[in-house]
Structure 1
């Protein structure tokens, strides 16, 4: 493991390769500045990537599209309308450029949640294919008995991520069953339509004997989850990606002023009851690292006074750290005066 990752700090990586996947999506290959024989992570996990744009270090979370125990990482990134970081990475990032990466993390992976038997169903849409593509490659490399049905939904062949690679996996592996469902199949043998309960049953042999892994846009995942429940699928064998920014919590109209004492920086801040802790610290210009903003990466861990915040996530925190008073600032709201340390 790279040294800084042990302390929740970013490691410096260098972009050593970059290639186009679709008109608005690229894959970048990253190598640690300080060499590592192999990089360990669990297929399906993501990393928080930091890049300096206009003098400011900005972090965004991206799923890993390569497999573990390699000397490099691959991230597949789609340009988001209005997205400063994704636009920079797709259009501007150059080979040789340095970026920052936090340790891979995420509960959505095939190691912590292995299939109950040797049959899995991977379902994805759009760029949600990235983590399940990593899972599929990992299983095909390490489990000769695995039976994979892979349903991916996209607009057209030219806008299907890993289109050639998926078809090659399908040709090379008798136990890999690719089912592409496209809005416009454009002279291919792919299926054409919109995923619904009927398509799900039609495309998946032995659906009820499989463990399901799902990733895609939030609305798409909600629909698929409902289809499975309507089909009386065993939802204990259902796993989906869940890193989405934590929404602001509705609170009563309460403007009680609170004090945040940050002794390491010699500052005392004023905030309101119900304010997000990370936002309060960032607004004061303190160098808090807030990467995923979803309560999952652990980059914004800090120690607070007991019972001074309400937290909606404690992922990546150990029981000992929670006992010591550590919280994740991005998913904590202020309810009392507090001392903050990093």
Structure 2
């Protein structure tokens, strides 16, 4: 699962002025390895200016498309996204980790549900995969999408969304909210914040009719929409969240608590069937950083508690997890943690990257 494979780029499409859609040609022998579920993401790796960089990008294809593709939006100061937009072309090769992520719900052809999604900017990429896969998999289900952008020129997948609407007129409802472009209906002007969401739920979306909601975008939007949905009666367990960029958080402050037991922790890491044992100081650095210093080929991408690429299960021992924007409550209850945010607090620790449940 942690192994990268070099995949050839089949096509690079300029989706908007600052976004490209990259399609990969997956050879026959790797088709099973790169089989994906709706809402999952890929971790890409490249050496840029002599530095090994990794970034996660959501798959934007329906499962039925069997076409592995991601959208990469150029972000201010983003080394990887800028490099990708400026240099990637058809015929190039890039290292790609197999799909991962749990930003989805089980689908069944007999379901007759109404799903709701809120996306902002490039947050549409996993939502695109989820909407199309759901409408194809559940002929009786419906989807409502509230999609926020600055202006119509920055709408990613605008043509594709229009085509989907034309195909499923009665089953897909699209609501565009623009912050810098005036629209005829005042409700659809501005930013997607709690007040805007409250207004939409009062006059446009009947929350009692919604079975589940998907939220993807910046942290402040997700928090605001989640709060509004819950205030209007939706259970938190029915809200699925994918964060594209966490806010800027200060480095971990030195612990004011005395270290319990020994100063060091003996760590056993199980990954791809291999067991590696090493010793690290408690409270000094994350489990991921300590393992990387040992030369272990760890799974990771963002290092910010957002993408869940570094997800593992604590089999023995305990850790403190500083930030978590990726794991569901039930995953934490089962012992899963993000190694990039985990700091050992026991004398011994055993974590397993190969367990899924």
* TM-score normalized by the length of structure 2: 0.76
Larger CA deviation: 185-194 vs 42-51: 185-194
1:145 counterpart = 2:131: no
Matches within 5 A, 1:247-326: 250=253, 252-253=255-256, 257-258=263-264, 271-283=281-293, 287-293=297-303, 294=305, 297-299=308-310, 306-307=316-317, 309-310=319-320
1:194-245 CA deviation, whole Å, 9 max, x = no partner? 33111343332x3321122111111001111122233233444322225766
- More divergent stretch after superposition (26-35 vs 71-80): 26-35
| Structure 1 counterpart of 2:174, from 174, 178, 199 | 178
Secondary structure (helix, strand or coil) at the match of 2:226 reads: helix
Residue equivalent to 2:118: 123
Match of 1:24 in 2: 18
- The CA deviation at 1:138 is 1.0
CA contact (8 A) 1:151 1:203 kept: no
Deviations 1:60-97 (A, max 9, x none): 11111011254431101111222221111122122222
Matched, 1:14 2:8: yes
Which residue pairs with 1:192 in the alignment? Answer: 189
Query: What is the Cα deviation at residue 25 of structure 1?
Result: 1.1
Q: 1:112 to 1:240 in 2, by over 3 A?
A: farther
State the match for 1:52 in structure 2.
Answer: 47
Shift of 1:173: 1.6
Q: Deviations over 1:292-331 (max 9, x none)?
A: 4337645575999x42644578969xx9xx99xx975323
Residue aligned with 1:91, SS: helix
Q: Distance in 1 between matches of 2:246 and 2:62?
A: 26
Asked if structure 1 preserves the Cα contact closer than 8 Å seen for 2:45 and 2:54, the reply is yes
> Once the two structures are superposed, what CA deviation does each residue of 1:43-62 show, in whole Å capped at 9, x if it has no partner?
11212222222344321111
Q: 1:167 to 1:184 in 2, by over 3 A?
A: farther
Aligned twin of 2:209: 209
Partner of 1:65: 60
Are the structure 2 counterparts of residues 125 and 187 from structure 1 closer, same or farther at C-alpha, using a change threshold of 3 Å?
closer
Asked if the contact 2:8–2:92 (Cα under 8 Å) also holds between the matched residues in 1, the reply is yes
2:92 aligned residue (88, 97, 116): 97
Which consecutive unaligned segments of at least 5 residues does structure 2 have? 353-357
Question: What RMSD, in angstroms, separates the aligned Cα atoms of the two structures?
Answer: 3.9
Give the stretch that moved more between structures: 250-259 or 191-200.
Answer: 250-259
Report which stretch shifted further, 35-44 or 241-250.
Answer: 241-250
2:246 corresponds to 1:231: no
Question: What's the offset of the Cα at 1:283?
Answer: 4.4
| Alpha carbons of structure 1 residues 266 and 225: separation in structure 2 relative to 1, 3 Å | closer
The count of corresponding residues between Structure 1 and Structure 2 is 328
Structure 1, residues 28-51: CA drift from partner, whole Å, max 9, x if none? 001225554574322112122222
Structure 1 residue 158: Cα displacement:
0.4
- The residue number in structure 1 matching 2:355 is none
Contact 1:108 1:242 in 2 (8 A): no
Unaligned runs of 5+ in 1: none
- Contact 1:302 1:341 survives alignment (8 Å): yes
Give the TM-score of the pair, scaled to structure 1. Answer: 0.79
Q: 1:341 to 1:307 in 2, by over 3 A?
A: closer
Moved more, 288-297 or 253-262: 253-262
> CA–CA distance in 2 between the matches of 1:189 and 1:20?
30
